[in-house]
Amino acid sequence: MSLIFISTDIFNLVSSTILLGLFYYITFTKLSSISDYLKNKLLGSFEDFGNIEFKKEIADIWAIPFEKIKITIYHGSDSNTAFRKFAFNVIDLYIGDKFLINTDEDELKFALSHEIAHSRILKYSLYSIIFPVMYGGFCFFFCLILVSSGIFSIFSFYILTLILYVTEIIVSNYFSWKTEYKADELGLTKTGNLNAAISFFQKYSNFQNNYGHLLNLIFNDHPHPDDRIKHLKNIDLQRIS
């Protein structure tokens, strides 16, 4: 009997260690991506875009006053992206210098239209903010009750924590994906250039690892470019039919 108890304790210890390591790995992956984002977007060097005619074209596409659009080029090791910075009374867009080199004018119009579209999509963005807060509070009290009642062993606690943690990531990323798909759809509607949208995502398909749908939901807060191409093709087919 003592051998059984010892082997059970060893199993719980080893299993708990593995689960804890996986937990910290996922956390570190998420925090690392956030750190890279902040480092390049907040601490990088910047310059004005300067192409007034292009800015006017973007303004015309969205029927926005020209003065309401601000486009800035940023420099850094992770300058292969474009993003919109939250601001009042202005559309504040940022383009990485490497991103600018790798995209042609039509692709850039779609990419910036995608970013502008985010300012028009609030539903899923609010979900992605509200859900983690509410879910975190639920998990805290749920685990506190189970642990304080003495029902859970350390191993069971780690299992539950990992399941709840991964579930939170999947649901949060699901809302993020929905937002990205909607922004892609609206960007395509505004530019009307499916070929430019497809070629843009094809260029950046190698910048994001593709682990398969479920693992992508865990590790990526954006859908893989290949999935975004499929989504845009389906949208275009629905418009034609």
Q: How far apart are CA 206 and CA 190, in angstroms?
A: 26
Q: Which two tokens stand for residue 194?
A: 């499916």
Confidence (pLDDT) at 180: 92
Which tens digits make up the pLDDT trace of 86-126?
A: 777 888 898 988 999 999 999 999 999 999 998 888 765 66
Confidence (pLDDT) at 16: 56
Whole-structure pTM value: 0.74
Name the residue type at position 228.
Answer: R
Confidence (pLDDT) at 170: 84
Q: How far apart are CA 237 and CA 241, in angstroms?
A: 6
Strand arrangement, sheet containing 82-85: 45-48, 69-75, 91-96, 82-85
Q: How far apart are CA 99 and CA 206, in angstroms?
A: 14
Segments in the chain below pLDDT 70: 1-44, 123-129, 131-133, 135-137, 139-140, 143-144, 146-148, 150-155, 157-158, 236-241
Which tens digits make up the pLDDT trace of 131-140?
A: 666 766 676 6
Q: How far apart are CA 93 and CA 90, in angstroms?
A: 9
